[in-house]
Amino acid sequence: MRNPIRKRVLITGGAGFLGSHLCERLLADGHDVLCVDNFFTGTKDNIMQLMGNPHFEVLRHDVTFPLYVEVDEIYNLACPASPIHYQFDPVQTTKTSVHGAINMLGLAKRIKARIFQASTSEVYGDPKVHPQREDYWGHVNPVGLRSCYDEGKRCAETLFFDYRRQHNLSIKVARIFNTYGPRMHPNDGRVVSNFIVQALKGEPITIYGDGKQTRSFCYVDDLIEGFVRLMATPDDFTGPVNMGNPGEFTILELAQKIVALTKSRSEIVFKPLPSDDPIQRCPDISLARQKLGWEPKVDLDAGLTRTIGYFSALIPS
Ligand SMILES: NC(=O)c1ccc[n+]([C@@H]2O[C@H](COP(=O)([O-])OP(=O)(O)OC[C@H]3O[C@@H](n4cnc5c(N)ncnc54)[C@H](O)[C@@H]3O)[C@@H](O)[C@H]2O)c1
């Protein structure tokens, strides 16, 4: 007989940055975790500390192919998340979002599992409305360099809602805004990891554009708490729900904070802005506050300090 409190949870993309933190959290909560990953951007190092746990399993598998397992809940996180990685093979990126969603939704339907989708603030594109609420439909370029990711994620949301309407699936869709923390990739071109690595190496810190574009930064532990709360909501709450930190900082402010916290002598240099880079991105998290009683708790300085600690151990000084 299975322990009814102990759920069997499948996490696709479980060896990635967010996925590995989610694996850890769900194991700590007493569940059985099946981590599925093709190790495109994820690594065994991210989950090494979990390998000896008898309630943890890893399966090397690509979600663009069907998967047959028995679980109670599915968190679908598999997808490269940074432009460098998702633009490496854009067709595969769209396939991962779209075929991956179809395969995981098909699995959820067959085994009657509840399913969570890691969607993204990129579904809002270069937004014309600030901050973005969930009822904003976005302003997305369908043919640009970021489209494989943005449109793939939009189509995945469509599939989730059609499976809900057509097959009455229990779905949970989170629109994740910029999140950072330990186990981010050191070389993925994301702003927080880029700046920290540059500062620790004493290299110039590169800002694209004039640095006045703003971003919001959510610490990973806060986000994972939001995932778990969303998964636990009643069936009639599907999302989409924004998850991120509404505190806005300019890219220049972020660079200056990182220089100060690392005590780096790096200088800040400016380069041209790539196409389709949004000038402002900030979540309206009223819905998450109201439905999940959730909001981020870790402030930027505290989160950056923990993240810098992780990168310091990776990068020899
Ligand atoms: N980190 C963020 O700020 C952020 C923001 C918005 C959305 N998201 C979403 O959250 C999810 C996780 O992002 P992350 O930051 O942890 O990125 P990540 O690249 O660290 O993790 C993605 C994981 O998916 C795996 N993967 C990729 N393609 C796969 C495939 N076809 N089959 C199986 N596994 C595959 C990778 O190997 C990796 O382990 C992604 O879906 C991403 O779009 C993240």
Ligand 1 binding pocket includes 18 (Cβ within 6 Å):
yes
Atom 35, ligand 1: residue with shortest CA distance: 78
Active site (catalytic) residues? 149
Phi, psi values for residue 285, rounded to 5°: -105, 25
The pLDDT, as a whole number, for residue 316 is 72
To test the pocket of ligand 1, the residue of 35, 41, 87 to mutate (highest count of ligand atoms within 8 Å of its CB) is 41
Ligand 1 binding pocket includes 198 (Cβ within 6 Å):
no
Please state the pTM of the whole predicted model.
Answer: 0.96
Q: pLDDT-derived band of residue 317, with 50, 70 and 90 as boundaries?
A: low
Q: Which ligand 1 atom is the nearest neighbour of the CA of 95?
A: 31
Q: pLDDT-derived band of residue 3, with 50, 70 and 90 as boundaries?
A: low
Nearest Cα residue to 244 out of 276, 189, 286 = 286
One-letter amino acid identity for 208? Y
What confidence tens digit (pLDDT) does each residue in 82-135 have? Answer: 999 999 999 999 999 999 999 999 999 999 999 999 999 999 998 899 899 999
Largest CA distance in the chain: 61
Q: How far apart are CA 65 and CA 76, in angstroms?
A: 14
Whether the pLDDT of residue 12 is over 80: the answer is yes
